Structure 1
Amino acid sequence: MQSENRIFDDFVKFINGAAGTLAGVGREAEASARERAKEWIGGLDFVSRDEFEAVKAMAAAARDEADALRARLDRLEGKTTPGAAAKPAVKKAAKPKA
């Protein structure tokens, strides 16, 4: 009876070792595929999410600054030009929807 338990224990150890090995191979394959995909995409002149977000934030800041300057210019023109309130306001271009 004791020998049957030993065989069973050895078999379980073998299966656990094989499962661990297969899991490791799977992780290696996934890492390799990710690396190849990054290299391939990097050659296509795509930007990373971080770069996109940085440019998007800079564009928003520039747009805010342009709006502030436009408002300041309108105020200045309103002070120096009589009847400036009768002039139609300059419309902003419509923003493209993404």
Structure 2
Amino acid sequence: MTIPSFDLRVARSGRSMHIAPCGELDIATTPELEQALTEATTEAVAEIVLDLRELTFMDSTGLRALAQANAGADERGVTLSIIRGPRQIERVLEISGLGALLPLVDAPQ
């Protein structure tokens, strides 16, 4: 049995935090993303950029993490930008209705 790969890249620049989950975001890997998002909102950052471009899969636990990140950022006055992922990730957001509620942005050029 092959274990799906997952990596989480976190980089801070000044008061901005860039978080990029890579691979499959599911029940086994979502806690790692949630921890990074919690740490980002409790640190003195003004902006969190969540980059979904390298996700290959996302289940309902990933959706929950995105919704909670959005709520947490609002509560703390932190700007959250979520860079759109591949088509299959966009489809999950669209079907769930969450895509209309999240601050989704196109990838920087």
Name the one with the larger helix percent: 1
Of structures 1 and 2, the larger Rg is shown by 1
Normalised by the size of structure 2, how large is the TM-score? 0.21
Task: Name the structure, 1 or 2, with higher relative contact order (CA <8 Å, separation 6+).
Answer: 2
Q: Scaled by the length of structure 1, what TM-score is found?
A: 0.23
